[in-house]
Structure 1
Amino acid sequence: MLKSYKFMDGMKAAIPVSLGYISIGAAFGIVAIAQGYSLWQVACLSILLYAGSGQFIMIAMMAVHAPISIITLTIFLVNFRMFLQSLTATQIFPHQSLKSGIAMGTLMTDESFGLMVLEHATGTPITTAWMQGVNVMSYLTWIVSTLFGAAVGNLIPSPEKFGIDYALVAMFIGLLVLTLDSMVKTEPLRIVLTVLVSSAVIYGVAGIVTSSYVAVLIATIIGALIGAVMSTPKQTRRAGTI
Protein backbone atom coordinates (compact mmCIF):
# COMPACT_ATOMS: atom_id res chain seq x y z
CA MET A 1 0.00 0.00 0.00
CA LEU A 2 1.29 3.43 -0.93
CA LYS A 3 2.09 5.84 1.88
CA SER A 4 -0.18 8.91 1.93
CA TYR A 5 1.67 12.19 1.78
CA LYS A 6 1.30 14.30 4.95
CA PHE A 7 1.84 17.91 6.07
CA MET A 8 5.64 17.75 6.29
CA ASP A 9 5.81 16.03 2.91
CA GLY A 10 3.89 18.98 1.51
CA MET A 11 6.31 21.46 3.05
CA LYS A 12 9.22 19.58 1.51
CA ALA A 13 7.49 19.43 -1.88
CA ALA A 14 7.03 23.21 -1.73
CA ILE A 15 10.75 23.94 -1.37
CA PRO A 16 11.28 24.55 -5.14
CA VAL A 17 8.32 26.94 -5.14
CA SER A 18 9.64 28.64 -2.00
CA LEU A 19 13.05 29.17 -3.59
CA GLY A 20 11.32 31.01 -6.42
CA TYR A 21 9.34 33.08 -3.93
CA ILE A 22 12.52 34.32 -2.25
CA SER A 23 13.62 36.37 -5.25
CA ILE A 24 10.10 37.50 -6.19
CA GLY A 25 9.18 38.40 -2.62
CA ALA A 26 12.41 40.31 -2.11
CA ALA A 27 11.79 42.14 -5.39
CA PHE A 28 8.35 43.20 -4.19
CA GLY A 29 9.75 44.44 -0.90
CA ILE A 30 12.39 46.49 -2.70
CA VAL A 31 9.91 47.99 -5.15
CA ALA A 32 7.40 48.77 -2.38
CA ILE A 33 9.97 50.55 -0.25
CA ALA A 34 11.09 52.55 -3.29
CA GLN A 35 7.45 53.66 -3.71
CA GLY A 36 7.37 55.01 -0.16
CA TYR A 37 5.77 52.10 1.70
CA SER A 38 6.90 51.33 5.23
CA LEU A 39 8.04 47.97 6.55
CA TRP A 40 4.78 47.36 8.42
CA GLN A 41 2.74 48.23 5.31
CA VAL A 42 4.70 45.68 3.28
CA ALA A 43 4.07 43.14 6.02
CA CYS A 44 0.32 43.82 6.00
CA LEU A 45 0.14 43.48 2.21
CA SER A 46 1.94 40.14 2.26
CA ILE A 47 0.02 38.75 5.24
CA LEU A 48 -3.48 39.97 4.35
CA LEU A 49 -3.48 40.29 0.55
CA TYR A 50 -0.92 37.57 -0.27
CA ALA A 51 -1.13 37.92 -4.04
CA GLY A 52 2.14 38.38 -5.89
CA SER A 53 0.73 39.92 -9.04
CA GLY A 54 -1.98 41.70 -7.05
CA GLN A 55 0.58 43.29 -4.75
CA PHE A 56 2.73 44.52 -7.64
CA ILE A 57 -0.38 45.88 -9.38
CA MET A 58 -1.57 47.62 -6.23
CA ILE A 59 1.60 49.59 -5.60
CA ALA A 60 1.89 50.45 -9.30
CA MET A 61 -1.67 51.80 -9.43
CA MET A 62 -1.32 53.59 -6.11
CA ALA A 63 1.76 55.32 -7.51
CA VAL A 64 -0.36 56.92 -10.26
CA HIS A 65 -3.15 57.76 -7.78
CA ALA A 66 -5.72 55.42 -9.33
CA PRO A 67 -9.12 55.34 -7.57
CA ILE A 68 -9.44 52.73 -4.82
CA SER A 69 -12.48 51.26 -6.56
CA ILE A 70 -10.49 50.71 -9.76
CA ILE A 71 -7.59 49.18 -7.86
CA THR A 72 -9.95 46.83 -6.02
CA LEU A 73 -11.72 45.77 -9.22
CA THR A 74 -8.43 45.22 -11.05
CA ILE A 75 -7.00 43.02 -8.31
CA PHE A 76 -10.28 41.10 -8.12
CA LEU A 77 -10.27 40.39 -11.85
CA VAL A 78 -6.59 39.48 -11.95
CA ASN A 79 -7.08 37.02 -9.09
CA PHE A 80 -10.49 35.71 -10.13
CA ARG A 81 -8.77 32.59 -11.43
CA MET A 82 -8.27 31.57 -7.80
CA PHE A 83 -11.98 30.77 -7.58
CA LEU A 84 -11.58 28.29 -10.44
CA GLN A 85 -8.43 26.81 -8.92
CA SER A 86 -10.17 26.36 -5.58
CA LEU A 87 -13.06 24.60 -7.33
CA THR A 88 -10.54 22.22 -8.89
CA ALA A 89 -9.13 21.52 -5.44
CA THR A 90 -12.58 20.50 -4.22
CA GLN A 91 -12.63 17.83 -6.94
CA ILE A 92 -9.23 16.50 -5.89
CA PHE A 93 -10.07 16.65 -2.16
CA PRO A 94 -13.86 16.13 -2.07
CA HIS A 95 -14.13 14.97 1.54
CA GLN A 96 -12.29 17.72 3.41
CA SER A 97 -14.02 19.76 6.11
CA LEU A 98 -15.29 23.31 5.58
CA LYS A 99 -12.50 24.66 7.78
CA SER A 100 -9.87 22.80 5.78
CA GLY A 101 -11.38 23.98 2.49
CA ILE A 102 -11.36 27.62 3.58
CA ALA A 103 -7.74 27.37 4.70
CA MET A 104 -6.70 25.68 1.46
CA GLY A 105 -8.49 28.17 -0.78
CA THR A 106 -7.21 31.16 1.18
CA LEU A 107 -3.54 30.22 0.85
CA MET A 108 -3.59 28.65 -2.61
CA THR A 109 -1.40 30.27 -5.27
CA ASP A 110 -0.74 29.60 -8.94
CA GLU A 111 2.43 27.73 -8.04
CA SER A 112 0.90 25.57 -5.29
CA PHE A 113 -2.08 24.88 -7.58
CA GLY A 114 0.25 23.81 -10.38
CA LEU A 115 2.14 21.54 -8.00
CA MET A 116 -1.12 20.00 -6.78
CA VAL A 117 -2.39 19.32 -10.31
CA LEU A 118 0.89 17.80 -11.48
CA GLU A 119 1.22 15.53 -8.44
CA HIS A 120 -2.40 14.45 -8.71
CA ALA A 121 -2.06 13.73 -12.43
CA THR A 122 0.95 11.49 -11.84
CA GLY A 123 -0.88 9.48 -9.19
CA THR A 124 1.04 10.75 -6.16
CA PRO A 125 -0.96 9.89 -2.98
CA ILE A 126 -1.39 13.51 -1.86
CA THR A 127 -3.79 14.43 0.96
CA THR A 128 -5.41 17.59 2.30
CA ALA A 129 -2.66 17.73 4.94
CA TRP A 130 -0.04 17.58 2.17
CA MET A 131 -1.70 20.48 0.34
CA GLN A 132 -1.91 22.51 3.54
CA GLY A 133 1.82 21.93 4.01
CA VAL A 134 2.54 23.19 0.49
CA ASN A 135 0.45 26.31 1.10
CA VAL A 136 1.85 27.11 4.54
CA MET A 137 5.46 26.73 3.38
CA SER A 138 4.82 29.01 0.41
CA TYR A 139 2.96 31.57 2.54
CA LEU A 140 5.65 31.84 5.21
CA THR A 141 8.42 32.08 2.62
CA TRP A 142 6.60 34.87 0.80
CA ILE A 143 6.12 36.92 3.97
CA VAL A 144 9.73 36.54 5.10
CA SER A 145 11.06 37.30 1.60
CA THR A 146 9.02 40.48 1.16
CA LEU A 147 10.08 41.73 4.58
CA PHE A 148 13.72 41.00 3.78
CA GLY A 149 13.42 42.89 0.51
CA ALA A 150 11.77 45.81 2.29
CA ALA A 151 14.50 45.85 4.95
CA VAL A 152 17.27 46.20 2.37
CA GLY A 153 15.20 48.18 -0.13
CA ASN A 154 16.62 51.54 0.89
CA LEU A 155 19.94 50.43 -0.56
CA ILE A 156 18.34 50.26 -4.05
CA PRO A 157 16.41 53.53 -4.54
CA SER A 158 15.62 52.91 -8.25
CA PRO A 159 14.89 49.17 -8.62
CA GLU A 160 13.39 49.56 -12.11
CA LYS A 161 16.88 50.38 -13.44
CA PHE A 162 17.91 46.82 -12.59
CA GLY A 163 14.75 45.20 -13.92
CA ILE A 164 13.66 44.10 -10.44
CA ASP A 165 10.06 45.08 -11.19
CA TYR A 166 10.07 42.40 -13.92
CA ALA A 167 10.87 39.61 -11.46
CA LEU A 168 7.31 38.30 -11.18
CA VAL A 169 6.94 37.92 -14.94
CA ALA A 170 10.34 36.23 -15.13
CA MET A 171 9.21 33.66 -12.56
CA PHE A 172 6.09 32.79 -14.60
CA ILE A 173 8.19 32.42 -17.76
CA GLY A 174 10.48 30.06 -15.87
CA LEU A 175 7.52 28.01 -14.64
CA LEU A 176 6.19 27.71 -18.20
CA VAL A 177 9.58 26.55 -19.51
CA LEU A 178 9.91 23.93 -16.75
CA THR A 179 6.36 22.72 -17.39
CA LEU A 180 6.99 22.35 -21.13
CA ASP A 181 10.28 20.54 -20.48
CA SER A 182 8.45 18.05 -18.27
CA MET A 183 5.64 17.63 -20.80
CA VAL A 184 8.05 16.89 -23.67
CA LYS A 185 9.31 13.89 -21.71
CA THR A 186 5.91 12.52 -20.70
CA GLU A 187 3.23 13.86 -23.07
CA PRO A 188 2.45 13.45 -26.80
CA LEU A 189 3.83 16.12 -29.10
CA ARG A 190 0.32 17.35 -29.97
CA ILE A 191 -0.29 18.39 -26.36
CA VAL A 192 3.00 20.25 -26.14
CA LEU A 193 2.33 22.05 -29.43
CA THR A 194 -1.22 22.91 -28.32
CA VAL A 195 0.10 24.51 -25.14
CA LEU A 196 2.75 26.47 -27.04
CA VAL A 197 0.37 27.74 -29.71
CA SER A 198 -2.36 28.52 -27.18
CA SER A 199 0.04 30.46 -24.98
CA ALA A 200 1.33 32.46 -27.95
CA VAL A 201 -2.19 33.31 -29.16
CA ILE A 202 -3.39 34.24 -25.68
CA TYR A 203 -0.34 36.43 -25.16
CA GLY A 204 -1.00 38.22 -28.46
CA VAL A 205 -4.66 38.83 -27.70
CA ALA A 206 -4.07 39.84 -24.08
CA GLY A 207 -1.27 42.18 -25.15
CA ILE A 208 -3.77 44.22 -27.15
CA VAL A 209 -5.89 45.12 -24.14
CA THR A 210 -3.35 45.05 -21.32
CA SER A 211 0.36 45.52 -20.61
CA SER A 212 2.98 42.98 -21.66
CA TYR A 213 3.56 42.16 -17.98
CA VAL A 214 -0.03 41.07 -17.39
CA ALA A 215 -0.23 39.40 -20.83
CA VAL A 216 2.67 37.09 -19.97
CA LEU A 217 1.04 36.16 -16.67
CA ILE A 218 -2.30 35.40 -18.35
CA ALA A 219 -0.72 33.37 -21.18
CA THR A 220 1.43 31.35 -18.78
CA ILE A 221 -1.40 30.50 -16.40
CA ILE A 222 -3.93 29.57 -19.10
CA GLY A 223 -1.32 27.66 -21.09
CA ALA A 224 -0.41 25.59 -18.03
CA LEU A 225 -4.08 24.92 -17.29
CA ILE A 226 -4.70 23.78 -20.88
CA GLY A 227 -1.81 21.36 -20.58
CA ALA A 228 -3.12 20.02 -17.27
CA VAL A 229 -6.62 19.52 -18.64
CA MET A 230 -5.40 17.75 -21.80
CA SER A 231 -3.12 15.41 -19.88
CA THR A 232 -5.55 14.54 -17.08
CA PRO A 233 -7.75 12.03 -19.02
CA LYS A 234 -4.76 9.91 -19.93
CA GLN A 235 -3.51 9.87 -16.36
CA THR A 236 -6.99 9.08 -15.07
CA ARG A 237 -7.35 6.10 -17.38
CA ARG A 238 -3.93 4.88 -16.36
CA ALA A 239 -4.76 5.18 -12.67
CA GLY A 240 -7.98 3.26 -13.22
CA THR A 241 -6.11 0.23 -14.53
CA ILE A 242 -3.93 -0.19 -11.45
Structure 2
Amino acid sequence: MFMLNQTSWKQAFTAVLPLCLSYLPVGLACGMLLQKVGFTLFLTGLLSLLVFSGGAQFLIVSLLAVHASFSSIILMVFFLELRYALLGSSLSYFFKQENRGFLAIFSQSMNDENYAVNYLHFSTDVSWTHRKALMVNWLSLLAWTGSTLLGTLFGSVIAIDTELVHFALTAMFIFMFMMQLKNRLLLMIGLLSGLLAVLFVLLLKNTFGLILATVLASLIGYFVERNFTEAGKKLPAAKEEVPHE
Protein backbone atom coordinates (compact mmCIF):
# COMPACT_ATOMS: atom_id res chain seq x y z
CA MET A 1 0.00 0.00 0.00
CA PHE A 2 2.81 2.40 0.91
CA MET A 3 5.51 1.06 -1.41
CA LEU A 4 7.77 3.58 -3.09
CA ASN A 5 10.38 3.05 -5.77
CA GLN A 6 14.00 4.05 -5.24
CA THR A 7 13.61 7.39 -7.01
CA SER A 8 10.60 8.35 -4.88
CA TRP A 9 12.44 7.39 -1.70
CA LYS A 10 15.36 9.61 -2.71
CA GLN A 11 13.03 12.52 -3.45
CA ALA A 12 11.25 12.18 -0.10
CA PHE A 13 14.54 11.77 1.77
CA THR A 14 16.11 14.80 0.05
CA ALA A 15 13.04 16.92 0.86
CA VAL A 16 12.99 16.01 4.55
CA LEU A 17 16.74 15.78 5.30
CA PRO A 18 17.18 19.46 6.33
CA LEU A 19 14.18 19.10 8.61
CA CYS A 20 15.56 15.94 10.23
CA LEU A 21 18.91 17.62 10.87
CA SER A 22 17.21 20.63 12.45
CA TYR A 23 15.45 18.30 14.91
CA LEU A 24 18.72 17.06 16.42
CA PRO A 25 19.53 19.96 18.79
CA VAL A 26 15.91 20.67 19.72
CA GLY A 27 15.08 16.99 20.21
CA LEU A 28 18.19 16.45 22.34
CA ALA A 29 17.21 19.37 24.58
CA CYS A 30 13.63 18.15 24.85
CA GLY A 31 14.73 14.61 25.70
CA MET A 32 17.12 15.85 28.40
CA LEU A 33 14.40 17.94 30.01
CA LEU A 34 11.94 15.05 29.87
CA GLN A 35 14.47 12.88 31.68
CA LYS A 36 14.81 15.52 34.39
CA VAL A 37 11.07 15.39 35.16
CA GLY A 38 11.06 11.59 35.42
CA PHE A 39 10.62 10.23 31.90
CA THR A 40 12.30 6.94 30.98
CA LEU A 41 13.46 6.02 27.48
CA PHE A 42 10.22 4.12 26.92
CA LEU A 43 8.01 7.01 28.03
CA THR A 44 9.99 9.53 25.99
CA GLY A 45 9.71 7.40 22.87
CA LEU A 46 6.00 6.82 23.44
CA LEU A 47 5.33 10.52 23.98
CA SER A 48 7.32 11.51 20.88
CA LEU A 49 5.43 9.03 18.70
CA LEU A 50 1.97 9.88 20.03
CA VAL A 51 2.44 13.63 20.51
CA PHE A 52 4.62 14.60 17.56
CA SER A 53 5.02 18.22 18.56
CA GLY A 54 8.03 19.91 20.09
CA GLY A 55 5.90 22.71 21.44
CA ALA A 56 3.53 20.29 23.16
CA GLN A 57 6.36 18.25 24.65
CA PHE A 58 8.13 21.32 26.02
CA LEU A 59 4.78 22.43 27.42
CA ILE A 60 4.33 19.05 29.13
CA VAL A 61 7.79 19.35 30.70
CA SER A 62 7.00 22.85 31.94
CA LEU A 63 3.68 21.82 33.47
CA LEU A 64 5.16 18.74 35.11
CA ALA A 65 7.93 20.89 36.57
CA VAL A 66 5.30 22.97 38.43
CA HIS A 67 3.29 19.86 39.38
CA ALA A 68 0.26 20.72 37.27
CA SER A 69 -2.68 18.34 37.34
CA PHE A 70 -3.11 15.69 34.67
CA SER A 71 -6.35 17.27 33.45
CA SER A 72 -4.66 20.67 33.07
CA ILE A 73 -1.87 19.14 31.01
CA ILE A 74 -4.31 17.35 28.71
CA LEU A 75 -6.41 20.48 28.16
CA MET A 76 -3.40 22.73 27.56
CA VAL A 77 -1.96 20.33 24.99
CA PHE A 78 -5.38 20.01 23.37
CA PHE A 79 -5.76 23.75 22.87
CA LEU A 80 -2.18 24.09 21.69
CA GLU A 81 -2.62 21.37 19.08
CA LEU A 82 -5.95 22.64 17.73
CA ARG A 83 -3.96 24.42 15.01
CA TYR A 84 -3.45 21.08 13.29
CA ALA A 85 -7.12 21.06 12.35
CA LEU A 86 -6.48 24.18 10.28
CA LEU A 87 -3.24 22.83 8.81
CA GLY A 88 -4.90 19.56 7.89
CA SER A 89 -7.84 21.29 6.24
CA SER A 90 -5.49 23.23 3.96
CA LEU A 91 -3.95 19.94 2.81
CA SER A 92 -7.28 18.18 2.32
CA TYR A 93 -7.54 19.47 -1.25
CA PHE A 94 -4.61 17.23 -2.22
CA PHE A 95 -6.04 14.11 -0.52
CA LYS A 96 -9.55 13.95 -1.91
CA GLN A 97 -9.10 10.44 -3.33
CA GLU A 98 -7.52 8.87 -0.23
CA ASN A 99 -9.42 6.58 2.15
CA ARG A 100 -9.88 7.32 5.83
CA GLY A 101 -7.28 4.80 6.92
CA PHE A 102 -4.55 6.57 4.99
CA LEU A 103 -5.75 9.96 6.21
CA ALA A 104 -5.64 8.78 9.83
CA ILE A 105 -2.07 7.50 9.47
CA PHE A 106 -0.98 10.65 7.67
CA SER A 107 -2.64 12.98 10.18
CA GLN A 108 -1.09 11.22 13.18
CA SER A 109 2.42 11.85 11.81
CA MET A 110 1.87 15.44 10.67
CA ASN A 111 3.38 18.43 12.43
CA ASP A 112 4.08 22.06 11.56
CA GLU A 113 7.39 21.46 9.82
CA ASN A 114 6.57 18.46 7.63
CA TYR A 115 3.25 20.14 6.79
CA ALA A 116 5.22 23.08 5.37
CA VAL A 117 7.49 20.75 3.37
CA ASN A 118 4.57 18.80 1.92
CA TYR A 119 2.40 21.82 1.19
CA LEU A 120 5.26 23.49 -0.67
CA HIS A 121 5.88 20.39 -2.78
CA PHE A 122 2.20 19.77 -3.49
CA SER A 123 1.88 23.39 -4.63
CA THR A 124 4.98 23.47 -6.82
CA ASP A 125 5.71 19.89 -7.91
CA VAL A 126 3.09 18.01 -9.95
CA SER A 127 4.98 14.74 -9.40
CA TRP A 128 4.68 14.95 -5.62
CA THR A 129 2.47 12.09 -4.42
CA HIS A 130 0.66 11.15 -1.24
CA ARG A 131 3.12 8.32 -0.60
CA LYS A 132 6.08 10.73 -0.79
CA ALA A 133 4.28 13.05 1.60
CA LEU A 134 3.71 10.17 4.03
CA MET A 135 7.39 9.25 3.87
CA VAL A 136 8.29 12.84 4.71
CA ASN A 137 6.03 12.57 7.76
CA TRP A 138 7.43 9.23 8.89
CA LEU A 139 11.08 10.14 8.37
CA SER A 140 10.67 13.40 10.29
CA LEU A 141 8.81 11.53 13.06
CA LEU A 142 11.63 8.98 13.34
CA ALA A 143 14.25 11.75 13.39
CA TRP A 144 12.44 13.60 16.17
CA THR A 145 11.84 10.46 18.22
CA GLY A 146 15.46 9.38 17.85
CA SER A 147 16.67 12.82 18.94
CA THR A 148 14.49 12.88 22.06
CA LEU A 149 15.58 9.34 22.97
CA LEU A 150 19.22 10.36 22.71
CA GLY A 151 18.48 13.41 24.82
CA THR A 152 16.84 11.29 27.52
CA LEU A 153 19.81 8.92 27.44
CA PHE A 154 22.32 11.77 27.77
CA GLY A 155 20.16 13.50 30.36
CA SER A 156 20.95 10.77 32.88
CA VAL A 157 24.65 11.65 32.78
CA ILE A 158 24.54 15.41 32.06
CA ALA A 159 23.52 17.86 34.77
CA ILE A 160 20.89 20.33 33.55
CA ASP A 161 18.96 22.88 35.58
CA THR A 162 15.26 22.19 35.00
CA GLU A 163 14.59 25.92 35.39
CA LEU A 164 15.92 26.24 31.83
CA VAL A 165 12.71 24.72 30.50
CA HIS A 166 10.72 27.80 31.51
CA PHE A 167 13.08 30.07 29.57
CA ALA A 168 13.08 27.75 26.53
CA LEU A 169 9.30 27.44 26.50
CA THR A 170 8.74 31.17 26.89
CA ALA A 171 11.21 31.98 24.11
CA MET A 172 9.64 29.40 21.80
CA PHE A 173 6.08 30.69 22.24
CA ILE A 174 7.15 34.32 21.86
CA PHE A 175 8.74 33.33 18.56
CA MET A 176 5.60 31.45 17.46
CA PHE A 177 3.45 34.44 18.38
CA MET A 178 5.65 36.92 16.51
CA MET A 179 5.65 34.74 13.39
CA GLN A 180 1.84 34.86 13.31
CA LEU A 181 1.55 38.57 14.09
CA LYS A 182 -0.26 39.96 11.03
CA ASN A 183 -2.50 42.69 12.43
CA ARG A 184 -3.17 44.74 15.52
CA LEU A 185 -6.01 42.51 16.62
CA LEU A 186 -3.64 39.57 17.09
CA LEU A 187 -1.27 41.79 19.03
CA MET A 188 -4.05 43.04 21.32
CA ILE A 189 -5.48 39.55 21.86
CA GLY A 190 -2.03 38.21 22.62
CA LEU A 191 -1.45 40.88 25.26
CA LEU A 192 -4.95 40.35 26.65
CA SER A 193 -4.35 36.61 26.87
CA GLY A 194 -1.14 37.20 28.84
CA LEU A 195 -2.82 39.56 31.28
CA LEU A 196 -5.78 37.21 31.78
CA ALA A 197 -3.42 34.28 32.32
CA VAL A 198 -1.61 36.10 35.13
CA LEU A 199 -4.91 37.22 36.68
CA PHE A 200 -6.59 33.80 36.58
CA VAL A 201 -3.55 31.91 37.84
CA LEU A 202 -3.30 34.29 40.81
CA LEU A 203 -7.02 34.01 41.53
CA LEU A 204 -7.38 30.25 41.06
CA LYS A 205 -3.92 29.27 42.33
CA ASN A 206 -3.89 26.66 39.59
CA THR A 207 -2.60 26.26 36.02
CA PHE A 208 -6.22 25.79 34.93
CA GLY A 209 -6.26 29.59 34.82
CA LEU A 210 -4.09 29.40 31.70
CA ILE A 211 -6.80 27.41 29.97
CA LEU A 212 -9.52 29.89 30.94
CA ALA A 213 -7.38 32.78 29.72
CA THR A 214 -6.72 31.07 26.40
CA VAL A 215 -10.37 30.25 25.76
CA LEU A 216 -11.67 33.65 26.83
CA ALA A 217 -9.09 35.60 24.79
CA SER A 218 -9.74 33.41 21.74
CA LEU A 219 -13.49 33.97 21.97
CA ILE A 220 -13.02 37.73 22.28
CA GLY A 221 -10.71 37.72 19.26
CA TYR A 222 -13.18 35.62 17.26
CA PHE A 223 -16.15 37.94 17.92
CA VAL A 224 -14.12 41.10 17.26
CA GLU A 225 -12.79 39.69 13.97
CA ARG A 226 -16.28 38.54 12.94
CA ASN A 227 -17.72 41.99 13.60
CA PHE A 228 -15.00 43.57 11.48
CA THR A 229 -15.68 41.07 8.68
CA GLU A 230 -19.44 41.58 8.75
CA ALA A 231 -18.94 45.33 8.69
CA GLY A 232 -16.70 45.01 5.65
CA LYS A 233 -13.76 46.56 7.43
CA LYS A 234 -10.14 45.55 7.11
CA LEU A 235 -8.18 44.74 10.23
CA PRO A 236 -5.32 47.25 10.73
CA ALA A 237 -1.87 45.83 10.07
CA ALA A 238 0.50 45.24 12.97
CA LYS A 239 2.93 47.73 11.42
CA GLU A 240 1.84 50.63 9.27
CA GLU A 241 3.74 50.92 6.02
CA VAL A 242 5.48 54.20 5.43
CA PRO A 243 4.64 55.54 1.97
CA HIS A 244 7.58 56.00 -0.36
CA GLU A 245 8.25 59.50 -1.50
CA separation of 1:30/1:43 partners in 2, compared to 1, >3 Å: closer, same or farther? Answer: same
User: Which letter maps to 2:105?
Assistant: A
Separation in structure 2 between the aligned mates of residue 8 and residue 96 of structure 1, nearest angstrom:
23
CA contact (8 A) 1:93 1:127 kept: no
**Structure (1 or 2) with the greater helix fraction:** 1
| Aligned partner (choices 27, 30, 53) of residue 28 of structure 1 | 30
Report deviation, 1:143. Answer: 0.7
**Matched residue, 1:165:** 168
C-alpha root-mean-square deviation of aligned residues, in Å?
3.0
Structural mapping, 1:37-116, within 5 Å: 37-116=39-118
Which stretches of structure 1, 4 residues or more, deviate above 6 A after TM superposition? none
Q: CA deviation at 1:99?
A: 1.9
Residue segments in structure 2 that go unaligned for 5+ positions in a row: 1-6, 198-245
Note the residue ranges of structure 1 that are not aligned, 5 or more in a row.
177-194, 212-242
1:205 is matched with 189
TM-score (norm 2): 0.66
After superposition, the Cα gap between the structure-2 partners of 1:97 and 1:6, relative to the gap in structure 1 and judged at 3 Å, is farther
Task: Work out whether residues 31 and 155 of structure 2, in 8 Å CA contact, stay in contact via their aligned partners in 1.
Answer: yes
**Count of equivalent residues:** 187
Aligned to 1:140: 142
TM score, norm. by length of structure 1: 0.66
Structure 1 counterpart of 2:159: 156
- After superposition, the Cα gap between the structure-2 partners of 1:50 and 1:161, relative to the gap in structure 1 and judged at 3 Å, is closer
For residue 10 of structure 1, what is the aligned residue in structure 2?
12
Q: Percent of pairs identical after alignment?
A: 24
Question: Equivalents in 2 of 1:64, 1:160: separation in Å?
Answer: 10
In our comparison, the structure showing a higher alpha carbon Rg is 2
